[in-house]
Structure 1
């Protein structure tokens, strides 16, 4: 019986299809009908890219990124200006306190020189002076501690934004979009 005339269980594709030779591990060789590959049918052609539209998209992405960077830098500049102003205020307060203490000391020394019991008064004024200095230094240390706490909070926020920027990367999208975003930025 002729194989071309015999009805085929494989359907109409058998006669016009391609055959493939297979070799088993047991030494058998046989023919099978070649299956069409999935990527031959499922890979659509990429759409035609309009260069002007692509350039506009690239520019808009670039502009968004630059505006975002500008905002971040402006926030950082404002924060440094606030820190600088608070430091100047602290220095001014310390300077005024030291001047007022010096004036008080001059007045105290004038009064002490006139007083008969100068020794006791000078020791008391010396103790008062040392206490005033310790109080001023304590306020200064507390001010610096507050500044350090503020800067530490700002650094933590900056670190969180940095980590979040990596988490927002388009890693989970298609490879083409990922490569496009990496090349544009």
Structure 2
């Protein structure tokens, strides 16, 4: 059996250099060609996964909008349940003339109606203010959640050793 120079390989083992015979390469480790059925199935599975994620996102958004819609409808019902005033807010000239010539009882009725209107508007403003407070609290919570990701970074560790150990753990 004749050994050629090509059959040898140089090995560098931490500065110790030596030659050894090349190992025979196994030709059986050839990667088999990918399955064509799997290749056609992968994009459809990926597309299905993306569409399911999009569907859940839209469903969550629909639930959120339904909640807002129900809150708005409840707000409208509370304002409609308030006693509706007999005289509209726009006092035209005929009402103004009638008001000058009317008696004291008519003045009291008009004042009561206007007071009821103001109270209904006050209730509406209070409800809107409450909804704004809820929206602001939601925004603050979301901002805090987004901010927390950066606060929890290992770069803020008190000592370099803790930073290195936390980076090695990841």
TM-score class, shorter-chain normalisation, is 0.3 to 0.5
Which has the larger Rg? Answer: 1
